[in-house]
Structure 1
Amino acid sequence: MSGLPHSPHALVTGGGRGIGRAIAAALVGAGATVTIVGRNAGVLGEAVNAGAAHFAVVADVANEAALKAAIAEAHARKPIDILIANAGSAESAPFAKSDNALFARMMDINFMGVVHAIHGVLPGMKDRPYGRIVVIASTAGLKGYAYVSAYTAAKHAAVGLVRSLALELAGGNVTVNAVCPGFTDTDLVTASIDNIMKKTGRSREQAIAELAKHNPQGRLIAPQEVADAVLWLCGQGASAITGQTIAVAGGEI
């Protein structure tokens, strides 16, 4: 497998914890310079101190101006070759209780956050000989789940963006793909487990089993497994892979 070109600069949104941190660390290990973006300066700083990234910039991906400034700061340090649009958030509610504000939050973070990030990096990336955009979507971008209609709609939108943008950019050197994890062992899923326990009275083991049942392998996905798929897509050997959605989900899709 062909690896990364010499010392590319990768920007990872939501890179301070969970899947984003695993991806950032994998890119560092493969020789990339990595800048992580997130809302919590302390979390970002801990990731940098642990060697999971080289630099960190605080910004909320739903805030277009703040994210644009963060990307400009990172680009000024070194032109960006790789974007991992990973930042996301999930809220659950029956559709009847999913008001406009809930839909707006899910779209702002999970879809418009991706749009803002790509707008920020693409002009400079198109002028370089190599570019990779990888959106961390979800199996919720490929199928439906009950009680997360707003989140699922936003992730479907992100997948649609990937497919369309890949065709626009197919004549150049930038590829655009989505990685769609199933339920993954992260803080986000921990919150879902806590919510199941609170609402149903189930034990933690029963709540985990409720989520893991979607995976034919009967388990949660490890963040490193998602990172491995992303690292392959960023490699020079994946230059013909674009517009694709790769499910890391134990055969769920």
Structure 2
Amino acid sequence: MHLAGKHAVVTGGGTGIGLAIARGLAEDGATVTITGRRIEVLEEVATPGLHPLAMDVTNEDSVVSGFAEATAAHGPVQIVVANAGLAEGRTLAKMDMAFWRKILATNLDGAFLTLREAMKTMSTTEWGRVITMASIAGVRGLRGAPAYTASKHGLIGLTRGLSEDYIAAPYTFNAICPGYVETPIVTRNSADIAAKTGMSEDEARQLLVKSNRHRTMLEVDEIAGAARWLCSDAARSVNGQCIEIAGGQM
């Protein structure tokens, strides 16, 4: 229970990776605010340690008021996991400005707003952990998804830039870069690939599996474990890093 007394905010905390991280932090003693656009999804998974809060990271007013409400209820934020994001692909020729802005607004602008508001409260404390959920697409190009790739490269840049800005402060900033993880996103992407290519959904899924270097689908507990470690005292000098979890070197 080494995180007892700490308040964590996990965006996109109602499903998949975000929910696994939120539950892990709660197991370690933290009081965790889970956010998302759909309050009914959050309420379904809420427990005494997980507190649901409707918040849309693409809306500045929503993020500002959301952090104000969370802080008023549970105290300053000392752990923030910027996990909310979209994983959608579209080639350059088929991409319009609306699609580009949708991806960047969620994956990069949303993280910026999340971290800005979190640091307003974290900076009043003497300890903090900032984790952004990037992707293997943040360290290499992802075919057929240039907007997503750009957003995750930008997210890593934001994380590293903030780690330098706060280098003398008692906070760390790190990005986790997973490969394909067994989540509803993979199910949706498999269906999308199948519809576009004519292959079966199982064939599409295997295509994603093969993108992981060990040719195995990752599980959410692997990502949550990395986040929990980054919040531990053992990782107190890990700062400005990209933790790649993809079954091998990228």
Taking structure 1 as the reference length, the TM-score comes to: 0.95
The aligned counterpart of 1:185 is: 182
CA contact (8 A) 1:80 1:124 kept: yes
Query: 1:6 touches 1:31 (CA, 8 Å); kept in 2?
Result: yes
Q: Within 5 Å, which residues of 2 pair with 1:85-100?
A: 85-100=82-97
In 2 relative to 1, CA 133–238 (structure 1 residues): closer, same or farther, beyond 3 Å?
same
Residue in 1 that maps onto 2:99: 102
In the aligned structure 2, how far is the partner of 1:110 from the partner of 1:137?
9
Query: What is the aligned counterpart of 1:75 among 71, 74, 77?
Result: 71
Which sits farther off after the overlay, 212-221 or 133-142?
212-221
Q: 1:121-161: CA deviations, max 9, x gaps?
A: 10221221110000001111110011100011011000000
Shift of 1:252: 4.5
Match for 2:111 among 110, 114, 128? 114
Q: Which one-letter code corresponds to 1:18 in the other structure?
A: G
Q: Secondary structure at the match of 1:24?
A: helix
1:72 alignment partner AA: A
Amino acid at match of 1:61: V
Q: Give the C-alpha shift of residue 201 in structure 1.
A: 2.2
Residue number among 45, 48, 55 corresponding to 2:46 in the alignment:
48
Q: Could you tell me which residue of structure 2 aligns to residue 139 of structure 1?
A: 136
Q: In the alignment, is residue 126 of structure 1 matched against residue 117 of structure 2?
A: no
Unpaired stretches in structure 1, ≥5 consecutive residues? none
**DSSP 3-state at the match of 2:46:** helix
Q: Among 183, 205, 214, which residue is 1:208 paired with? A: 205
> Secondary structure at 1:10's aligned position in 2?
strand
1:155 maps to a residue whose letter is K
Structure with greater contact order relative to length (CA < 8 Å, sep ≥ 6): 1
Q: Could you tell me which residue of structure 2 aligns to residue 226 of structure 1? A: 223
Name which of structure 1's ranges 226-235 and 216-225 shifts more when overlaid on structure 2: 216-225
Amino acid at match of 2:100: F
- Over 3 Å counting, the alpha-carbon distance change for 1:4 and 1:142 in structure 2 is farther
- 1:61 is aligned, of 22, 33, 57, to 57
Aligned equivalent of 2:15, options 10, 14, 17: 17
SS of equivalent to 2:34? strand
Q: Aligned-residue CA RMSD in angstroms?
A: 1.2
Letter matched to residue 158 of structure 2: L
**Moved beyond 2 Å, runs of 4+:** 3-7
Q: Distance in 1 between matches of 2:87 and 2:249?
A: 19
**Preserved contact between residue 108 and residue 154 of structure 2 (Cα < 8 Å):** yes
Task: Note the residue ranges of structure 2 that are not aligned, 5 or more in a row.
Answer: none
Which amino acid in 2 is paired with 1:225?
Answer: E
